[in-house]
C-alpha cells in the first residue's frame, strides 16, 4: 500500500532538461539558473500544502510554524500568504487536502458487484491501513478536535466529501442484506463510526496505550494481528447469525 505522507508532486520534474543542455558552448553565455529551475504556481502551492499537512500534523495549529513551513517548502514566507492568505486558511486547506486523500482512496473500492462481505472487508482494511501506515492524518484530526472543530466548521467540502463514502457503505449493506448475509437494521453512519473507532484508537492513543500495556503499538506484527481483529469485529457485527 502506498503511504499517505505528503510527498512531492509526482509530475514534477525538477530541472529535468534545461540546465546544462547539449549545446556546451552557449552554456556559458547563458546565465546560470539556481536549483529550482522552473518555478510554477501550482507546483509551488502544492509543495507548500504538503509541507503544511506534515507541520500541522506534527505540531498542531498553534504549534505549527509558518517559518518552518516556508523553509521546508523552500519558498519565501510571503508565498505562503500569496497562495493561502493566512495561517487559518492554510491549516484548513491542509485539513481538507488530508480528507480528500482518504476519501479519494475510498472511491477506488469496488463497491457494486463484489461479494458484499468482501467489499466491507476491503473498506475496513483500507481504512485501517490508511490510518495506521502514517499517523499524520490521525494527528491532524485529533488536533482539529482539540480545537473544538474551529476550522472544520468552516469547510463546505468536508461534509460534501463524506457523501460518497456513506453511499458506498449503504450499497454494500443493502447488497449484503439482499444476499441474506448481513442482518437488517444496520445504521450506515453508526457502522462507519465503529469502523473508524476500531481503526483509529491504536494510532491516536499509541503512546498512552503503549505505556499502559508496556509494548509498542506501532510494531508491524502487532498491527497485523490487530488488523485481523478489527475485520473480525466488524464482520461479526454485521453478520446474519443465530446464537448457538
> Among residues 75 and 141, whose Cβ is nearest to a copy of itself?
141
Q: What are 236-239's contacts with CB under 8 Å, separation 24+?
A: 237/191, 237/194, 238/120, 238/173, 238/176, 238/182, 238/183, 238/186, 238/191, 239/181, 239/182, 239/183
- Look-up: residue for cell 462507519? 192
Strand partners, 182: 239
* Cell numbers given for 128: 485501517
87 binds DNA (CB under 7 A): yes
Residue 210 contact, options a copy of itself, DNA, none, Cβ 5-8 Å cut-off depending on partner type: a copy of itself
85 binds DNA (CB under 7 A): yes
Give the 3-state secondary structure of residue 239.
Answer: strand
> Among residues 90 and 161, whose Cβ is nearest to a copy of itself?
161
Q: What is the C-alpha separation between 209 and 217, in angstroms, rounded?
A: 7
Q: What is the x/- site pattern for a copy of itself, positions 40-69, by CB under 8 A? A: -------------------xxxxx------
Instruction: Candidates 3, 13, 17, 76: give the one binding DNA (CB under 7 A).
Output: 76
Sequence-distant (6+) residues with CB within 8 A of 202 are: 132, 209, 217, 223, 226
CB atoms within 10 A of CB 234: 22
Residue 118 contact, options DNA, a copy of itself, none, Cβ 5-8 Å cut-off depending on partner type: none
Residue 162 contact, options DNA, a copy of itself, none, Cβ 5-8 Å cut-off depending on partner type: a copy of itself
How many chain residues interact with a copy of itself (CB under 8 A)?
63
Interface region with DNA, contact rule CB under 7 A, candidates 65-73, 203-211, 216-224, 226-234: 65-73
Q: What is the C-alpha separation between 104 and 196, in angstroms, rounded?
A: 16
240 binds DNA (CB under 7 A): no
193 binds a copy of itself (CB under 8 A): yes
Sequence-distant (6+) residues with CB within 8 A of 126 are: 105, 106, 109
Note the residues at the interface with a copy of itself (CB under 8 A). Answer: 59-63, 139, 141-149, 152-153, 155, 158-159, 161-162, 166, 180-181, 187, 189-190, 193-194, 196-202, 204-214, 225-226, 229-230, 232-234, 236-237, 239-244
Interacting residue ranges for DNA, rule: CB under 7 A: 31, 33-34, 36-41, 44, 64-67, 75-79, 81-82, 85-88
Amino acid at each position: 500500500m502506498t503511504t499517505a505522507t505528503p510527498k512531492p508532486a509526482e509530475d514534477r520534474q525538477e530541472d529535468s532538461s534545461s540546465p546544462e543542455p547539449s549545446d556546451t558552448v552557449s552554456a556559458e553565455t547563458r546565465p546560470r539558473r539556481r536549483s529550482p529551475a522552473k518555478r510554477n504556481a501550482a507546483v509551488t502551492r502544492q509543495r507548500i500544502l504538503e509541507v503544511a499537512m506534515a507541520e500541522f500534523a506534527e505540531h498542531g495549529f498553534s504549534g505549527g510554524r509558518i517559518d518552518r513551513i516556508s523553509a521546508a517548502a523552500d519558498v519565501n514566507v510571503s508565498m505562503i500568504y500569496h497562495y493561502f492568505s493566512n495561517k487559518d486558511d492554510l491549516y484548513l486547506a491542509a485539513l481538507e487536502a488530508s480528507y480528500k486523500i482518504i476519501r479519494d482512496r475510498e472511491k477506488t473500492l469496488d463497491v457494486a458487484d463484489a461479494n458484499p462481505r468482501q467489499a466491507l472487508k476491503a473498506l475496513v482494511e483500507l481504512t485501517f491501513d490508511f490510518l495506521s501506515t502514517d499517523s499524520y492524518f490521525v494527528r491532524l484530526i485529533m488536533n482539529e478536535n482539540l480545537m473544538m472543530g474551529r476550522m472544520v466548521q468552516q469547510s463546505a467540502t468536508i461534509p460534501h466529501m463524506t457523501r460518497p463514502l456513506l453511499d458506498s457503505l449503504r450499497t454494500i449493506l443493502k447488497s449484503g442484506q439482499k444476499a441474506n448475509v448481513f442482518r437488517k437494521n444496520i445504521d450506515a453512519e453508526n457502522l462507519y463510526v465503529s469502523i473508524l473507532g476500531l481503526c483509529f484508537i491504536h494510532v491516536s492513543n499509541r503512546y498512552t496505550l503503549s505505556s499502559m500495556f508496556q509494548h509498542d503499538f506501532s510494531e508491524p506484527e502487532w498491527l497485523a494481528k490487530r488488523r485481523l481483529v478489527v475485520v473480525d469485529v466488524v464482520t461479526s457485527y454485521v453478520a446474519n447469525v443465530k446464537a448457538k
